[in-house]
Amino acid sequence: MRQEMEIEFKNLLTEVEYERLMNHYGKEVDPIWQANDYFDTPTFELRKQGAALRIREKKTGLVLTLKQPKDDGLLETHVTLSETEAEELFKYGIIQSDAMNEQLRPFNLTSSLEHLGRLETTRFETLLESGLLVLDKSNYLGVTDYELEFEVTDYTQGKIAFTKLLTEHEIPQRETKNKIVRFMERKAVSR
């Protein structure tokens, strides 16, 4: 098990803004494919407590991640999964990892976990002097959206750099929810 604090700023983009940023930052960068499979109880018990659970699939393997609010960011708890362990979560809602089950215990879930769906992303990452710039194109539940993420180690300095980045590229700052929140809201509407 591994834990980390994530401090990032997000901004949804129009397709035109995304293409403009790709032309500026993404020309020399290889895309990263990833898929997120989201899990919650049928009544969204994790979501109601501000948390989220996903399996992220990359070419390098499978990682189960619990995200929960903490201070100015999110506490992320990661556990590597085998294909068999992932299959047990998909089919039966069972998590084999004792460490992850311990992290989930305070949520007092009353129902079994279920697979809610998949979000696939093509990601481009560029390290800037002030932080990691991430450009994502995501597809889920019949939607395609575009997003800029800016990952930093210091909230105050990161906020300044993020605002400057948006201003330099004439992109309005938009209130942007996390991918998992956007996915869950769309899923709740489709039920």
What pLDDT, on a 0 to 100 scale, did the predictor assign at position 6?
82
Cα–Cα distances in angstroms (integers) from residue 165 to residues 42, 44, 74, 177, 187, in the given order = 40, 35, 22, 19, 32
Q: Identify the pLDDT of residue 124.
A: 96
CA distances from 42 to 46, 49, 100, 138 (A): 10, 14, 20, 24
Name the pTM for this structure: 0.87
Contact residues for 129 (Cβ-Cβ < 8 A; gap 6+): none
The pLDDT score that the predictor gives to residue 70 is 81
Which helix (H) or strand (E) element contains residue 182? helix 179-190
Question: What one-character-per-residue DSSP string does 43-65 give?
Answer: T-HHHHTT-EEEEEEETTEEEEE
Name residue 74's beta-bridge partners: 6, 69
Domain 2-190 -> CATH class: mainly beta
Contacts 24+ apart (CB under 8 A), 46-55: 46/107, 46/109, 47/181, 47/184, 49/107, 51/107, 52/178, 52/180, 52/181, 52/184, 53/104, 53/113, 54/180, 55/81, 55/86, 55/89
Q: What is the pLDDT of residue 3?
A: 86
Instruction: State the burial class of residue 162 (Cβ atoms within 10 Å of its Cβ: 0-12, 13-18, 19+).
Output: buried
Residue 84 pLDDT = 96
| Residue 191 DSSP one-character state | -
Q: Where are the domains of the chain?
A: 2-190
Q: Distances from the Cα of 15 to the Cαs of 12, 89, 135, in angstroms?
A: 10, 35, 11
Tens-level pLDDT at each residue, the chain (191 residues):
888 888 899 999 999 999 999 999 977 889 999 999 999 999 999 999 999 999 999 888 999 999 998 877 788 999 999 999 999 999 999 999 999 999 999 999 999 999 999 999 999 999 999 999 999 999 999 999 999 999 999 999 999 999 999 999 999 999 999 898 899 888 888 76
Phi, psi (degrees; rounded to nearest 5) at 185: -65, -40
Q: What is the pLDDT of residue 191?
A: 65
- The amino acid occupying position 118 is R
